Amino acid sequence: MDLSHIPALLGGFFDFLDSPQWRAWPFNAGYGEHILPALARLLFVTLIMGVILLFLRLLFGPGGPLRDKELDEEARRETERERAELKEQFDKGEISEMEYKARLKRLED
């Protein structure tokens, strides 16, 4: 197997990457260019970050396949405890019915 052409191939590739269009892409200073290429790069980076965050949300968010089940159980117990305390405050007359319903709705959301 003849590997003598690999250094020339790599040299050409690195020369291509060192061209002014690719140097420091996508975070170059933007001197001498119009606003649209800079906005396009910003939009591209924002899109990539959004896709990554959405992917992580789907994996580790509520009901996600990699989410720790203990977190859901702990949150459920905490919500039940808060509902019981809220009901107790309402029964004692410490809060009004309107405030009770508002806090209860906030707990359900």
Closest CA to 106 of 82, 81, 74: 82
CA atoms within 13 A on the CB side of 21: 3
- For residues 55 and 17, what is the distance between their CA atoms, to the nearest angstrom? 30
Instruction: Tell me the pLDDT tens digit for each residue of 9-18.
Output: 778 777 766 6
Q: For residue range 16-65, what is the model confidence (pLDDT) as tens digits?
A: 666 666 555 555 555 556 677 778 888 999 999 999 999 999 999 888 88
Say what the pLDDT of residue 1 is.
Answer: 62
Q: Among candidates 61, 89, 74, 71, which has minimal Cα distance to 104? A: 89
For position 70, what pLDDT does the model report?
86
Between 71 and 99, the more confident residue is 99
CB 41 within 8 A of CB 26: yes
> What is the C-alpha separation between 88 and 80, in angstroms, rounded?
12
DSSP sequence for 39-53: HHHHHHHHHHHHHHH
Instruction: Say what the pLDDT of residue 6 is.
Output: 83
